[in-house]
Structure 1
Amino acid sequence: MPFDLGATVRLAADCLTPDGVLATAGTAAVTVTLPDGTTASPAPTETSTPGRYRADYVTAAAGRHTVRWVWTSPAHAYTDMFDVREQAPPAVMSLATGRSHLKKTDTGDDEEIRDWIEACTRAVEQFVGPVAPRPVIETVRFTRARSVALTQIPALALTGVTSLRSGGPAYTVDDLVLDPETGLVEAADGGVLYGPLSVTYRAGRLVVGANIRAAAKIILQHLWRTRQGPGRPQRGVDDYDVSEPLPGLGFAIPNRAVQLLDPDRLPPVVG
């Protein structure tokens, strides 16, 4: 399961002889490669069980990390990985809400539930755009236009704009007008815009509609069923029926959830 940014990851690995027997090594080293390619070398220590090693690493960056263990005398190596969540991962519901909907009375499955909530958030947002408010940096490529469209809608507010055109006009947020529902940006004076532009803005919803919240719960319940193993029907005549696959999502979204999301579905991309 992913770790939270700033959490300590307990790394563990075994030093084995060529015969597969645990053995104390002459030297032990562990290297963590961060998403940006930089590395860290936490100090490994042998546990009370000879040949079993561990090291603690405090996460400092979001993304995929690679872990490389190398021992000498005997020569052995082991490679593993772990993921780190971004500082504020978007979530369509809280852990408490997800736990309650799945009728979980303890915290034993919390990390798996968090993972599924993040998965169903992505699924919901494929239909309705960003749910949790977040900053977006987008390059809008055009030469000249009366209006340009941002891709992440609803777009709450513009926070910055930079011309990427050599010698191009310098715009400020006050020079532009944003339509939150469509993401269209126009010049406040009604003139022509010259691009390309790098636009920083906030996208998402200040209020998440009840239909979106209900759809997310149905999707979460539907996805949670997959952990119950084969034999549990994935199609039926209830809220979790899936009659046909959806582009890019397959059978992950039940019909009832699609119907609930329809009122807020993003307009089709033209062109």
Structure 2
Amino acid sequence: MAIVTLAEAKTQVGIAPTDTSKDAVLMNYVDAIASTVENYKLEIVEAREFTEERVLNGGSFVLANSPVLSLISVETVDGTTVWDVNNLHVSRAGVVRVMSGASVSGTVAVTYRAGYETVPENYKRGALVILQHVWETQRGVGQVGTGVIGQEEGTYGQLSTYSLPRKALEWLGVPNPVVM
């Protein structure tokens, strides 16, 4: 699932739905923007599967990516021990706890699904603003003070232009806190 659909992207940049001449480049932009949004928000937006290898000595542990949707499997990397994921609890933040049975220990591979099943609307809107910004700046359509390219595209003292427009950041909200 993409952060925005091709149809949404075309509407945002003013391409007719029947014009397929720029579909490939437009979807390349959408894919790149999704990782930009994830890096800014410090969370996974597009739902997908991850596998992490960990050396554990029992007790709870925290997965690297959130929000976590589900645990798929937990097993030693050599496959000799498999934990029943139904006996484990994982929070949206990625904290895994054993609810019953043996504690998770050894060199283990944890496979799980993280992200959003439905991308939050404000994330979609922020991604579309970024898309329009990149699209217009690459094609010379926008000008300072017009359209998506506004005052945030000017320079501030010695600083050059922003990569993420202020309008997009307002849609996206503040990044999630980093928990150590």
TM-score bucket (shorter structure): 0.7 to 0.9
Match of 2:176 in 1: 266
Aligned residues: CA RMSD: 3.2
Alignment partner of 1:257 is 2:159: no
Checking the alignment, whether the CA contact within 8 Å between 1:139 and 1:198 is kept in structure 2 is: yes
Match of 1:185 in 2: 96
Relative contact order, higher structure (CA 8 A, sep 6+): 2
C-alpha distance 154-231 of structure 1, shift in aligned 2 (>3 A): closer
More helix by share: 2
Normalising by structure 1, what TM-score? 0.55
Structure 1 residue 231: Cα displacement: 9.1
Unaligned runs of 5+ in 1: 1-89, 245-249
Structure 1 residue 267: Cα displacement: 2.3
Q: How high is the sequence identity, in percent, across the aligned residues?
A: 28
Structure 1 residue 146: Cα displacement: 2.4
Cα deviation 1:223-243 (Å, max 9, x = unaligned) = 112322499549999667268
Structure 1 residue 253: Cα displacement: 1.2
**Aligned counterpart in structure 2 of residue 172 of structure 1, from 53, 75, 84:** 84
In 1: Cα distance, 2:148 partner to 2:78 partner: 56
In 2: Cα distance, 1:243 partner to 1:191 partner: 59
The aligned length equals 172
In 1: Cα distance, 2:111 partner to 2:30 partner: 27
In 2: Cα distance, 1:166 partner to 1:96 partner: 44
Normalising by structure 2, what TM-score? 0.79
Matches within 5 A, 1:225-240: 225-229=136-140, 232-233=143-144
Amino acid at match of 2:66: I
Cα deviation 1:220-263 (Å, max 9, x = unaligned) = 0111123224995499996672689xxxxx93211222232225
Alignment partner of 1:118 is 2:42: no
Unaligned runs of 5+ in 2: 156-160
Cα deviation 1:147-192 (Å, max 9, x = unaligned) = 111112111001111123897x541212211002x11101113975
